[in-house]
Chains A and B, each alone.
Chain A
Amino acid sequence: MSDMSENRPGWGLTATAFTVVAFLQLPVIVVVLAAFSTTSYLTIPPQGLTLAWFGKVLSDPTYLSAIRMSLILACGSTLISLVLGVAAAYALFRKVLPGSEAVTSFLMAPLVMPAVVVGVALLQFYSMTGLRGSLIGLLLAHVVITVPYVVRSALASLSGLDLAVEEAARVLGASGFEAFRLVTLPLIAPGLVAGALFSFITSLDNVPVTIFLISASQTTLPVLIFSSVEMGIDPSVAAVSTLLILATGIVLLLAERRFGFHRFV
């Protein structure tokens, strides 16, 4: 699109924005620096540089299985949330159901309820139904806490949609599902990215619900980090975070290269 200089942010706004960015990075920088520290306790500035902690993390089977579990849960719950959430958002958007607003607000409830309460409630429920420690139970618990983000962003995305394009697709011969898949979905996909991102991060980061539901043998990364606090923090924790940040950066840069990601946000 043409460059409309009237709309360009001025230098005052740019300066403010960059200050905020700097503020956001402060703990990140501290953590990344700490990951390279030679001392076994975290100090800033680091007294020496080493990659040892990265090596420790990547070779420790407990860490590796925790990372694996976290990724499975995050990917799985985000995927399930996307399917369930988009379907529900679409039904709400078409307004064929009574009380859509009330239902929508209800769908936000898992976000609002303090996570600890959700965790304890599920613990009680799972103990009664024998789901405690099961992967499917954990997965569905994560779906519960992540799906509100997907529903929110799907509804926001759908609100900008002109129904006429779907109708055009139908008259041209597409079935209901085809019209959704070929027309509606591509058009709302950009808006879904934010929801999927929040969902993924919420699952990846979650402690209060997860900690009650894991089995003794299998743990997730954030819970592992959390429990290791009791034994004293060493820089492996920082190393893991740095690895996560690095991985995310690479994935998103690749997505940009391949899909022109910047158009989506």
Chain B
Amino acid sequence: MGSLTFEGLGKSYGEVEVVRDVSLTIAEGEFVSLLGPSGCGKTTILRMVAGLVEPSRGRILIGRDDVTTLPPNKRGLGLVFQSYALFPHMTVFENVAFGLRRRKVAGAELDKRVKEALGMVRLGTFGERYPRQLSGGQQQRVAIARALAPHPRVLLFDEPLSNLDAQLRDEMQIELKRLQRNLGITTLFVTHDQGEALSMSDRVGVMAKGVMQQFAAPEDIYHRPATGFVASFIGKPNRLSGSVAMREGAGGRLAVGGVAIPAARIDQPAGAKVDIVIRQEAVAIRSGIPRPGEVAGEVVLRSFSGARVQYVVRLAEGVEIVAETASHGPEAALAIGAPVGLAIDPAAVFAMPPEGAKP
């Protein structure tokens, strides 16, 4: 068993730096997700941990052991691939037994451990089937069992749920979380789906362009984004262009679309051009004449998505904001063209350097 530590981890391909100076420690038994858009470096980090990619800089430690230069078969890890990568020419049993056989486990002991692993993913009777006879969800569970059977110190997941349909994905999220809790195994989970990362993890590392933006508990990531990128990546953001109208203490007011919106925290000086990020969930919509403190607007579009309803609201000067409300609430059935007032929570308004500048 062990913790997982990165010290100044970096990877470059020629001139291109894919991972830059990542340092963090994942405690033993902790479930950590690496979250970010494609190309942010999260998968590269995972593959460096697995030993499939050689780091350009830095070290990787499992527990107290420096594994940076160890080949992948000597690290004692488990890896679940996005494509499952089951061995098509072997039965489910043989797939799961593979890692055990490499550790010279045999006979009754082998049988027992394979059955144990398959039991954990509830596929106990599937031993004699071949991967091609299984559904996607079942294949994935075999992949998990295969990774777990040799009792690895650290468990790695490379976007394992992205090939599953939505409902199965939700079920697997819960199952995986439960499994991880029961086994207490240190887990590194790579995903581009923030819902997944936030709901499953003890801590989340948000990455963009090879740089670790923030490494914190899900609540902190959501409510207290450390950088503009995190603010705009997490939740459902509105992203508008504007400028800093005035500074007051830690925050101030931002000018956008002919209105001034208060923000609790502004890093830029007055007059600076900024991108403004406002979470959809933080915009409360109310039909009628705007009250003091609310922004006036007109409903342009309405879309129903089950539990929530989204409205596209046009402000003065053509700027549009998306607001959300519960679909069984009082504002669930506003008509196109209806005048509305938007109450925007200043704590959920973030000012960032304009797009194109470094995050």
Contacts and interface: CB of A to CB of B under 8 A. Distances in A.
A–B direct contact (CB < 8 Å): yes
B79 A168 contact: yes
A169 interface: yes
A87 B188 CA distance: 35
A173 B52 contact: no
Contact of B79 (A165, A171, A174): A171
A174 B77 contact: no
Interface stretch (B18-26, B83-91, B166-174, B224-232): B83-91
B50 interface: yes
Contacts of A168: 79, 81, 85-87, 146
A172 B98 contact: yes
A44 B18 CA distance: 75
Contacts of A178: 102
B215 to A, nearest CB: 25
B99 A173 contact: yes
Interface in B200-223: none
Contacts, number: 61
B69 interface: no
B85 A174 contact: no
B83 A164 contact: yes
B10 interface: no
Interface string A157-177: 000001011011111111110
Interface string A177-191: 010001100110000
A173 B83 contact: no
B72 interface: yes
A165 B81 CA distance: 9
A170 B99 contact: no
A162 B85 CA distance: 8
Nearest to A168: B85
B12 interface: no
A173 B85 contact: no
Contact of B98 (A164, A169, A176): A169
B83 A171 contact: no
B103 interface: yes
Instruction: Identify whether the interface residues of B are mostly helix, strand, loop, or mixed.
Output: loop
B85 A170 contact: no
B98 A171 contact: no
B72 A167 contact: yes
Interface residues of A, number: 18
Instruction: Identify whether the interface residues of A are mostly helix, strand, loop, or mixed.
Output: helix
A18 B30 CA distance: 65
B78 interface: yes
Contact of B81 (A164, A173, A175): A164
B119 interface: no
B52 A167 contact: yes
Contact of B73 (A162, A164, A165, A171): A171
Interface string B11-49: 000000000000000000000000000000000000000
A79 B50 CA distance: 36
B83 A162 contact: yes
Interface residues of B, number: 24
B269 interface: no
A171 B50 contact: yes
Contacts of B83: 162, 164
B88 A171 contact: no
A172 B73 contact: yes
A174 B95 CA distance: 13
Contacts of B85: 162, 164-165, 167-168
B262 interface: no
Contact of B89 (A162, A164, A172, A187): A187
Interface string A122-148: 000000000000000000000000000
A170 B81 contact: no
B346 to A, nearest CB: 48
B297 interface: no
A99 to B, nearest CB: 19
B340 to A, nearest CB: 51
Most-contacted residue by chain A among B71, B72, B103 (CB, 10 A): B72
A173 B102 contact: yes
A165 B72 contact: no
Contacts of B98: 169, 172, 174, 182
Nearest to B80: A168
A103 to B, nearest CB: 23
B143 to A, nearest CB: 8
Contacts of B77: 171
A173 B150 contact: yes
Contact of B99 (A162, A165, A172, A187): A172
Contacts of B75: 171
A164 B159 CA distance: 14
A226 B212 CA distance: 75
Contacts of A173: 73, 99, 102-103, 150
B47 to A, nearest CB: 9
A173 B78 CA distance: 10
Given A162-B85, A169-B87, A187-B88, A175 B73 contact: yes
Nearest to B99: A172
Contacts of B88: 165, 187
Contacts of B150: 172-173
Sorted nearest first, the 5 A-B pairs with minimum C-beta distance are A173-B102, A164-B85, A172-B99, A168-B85, A170-B72
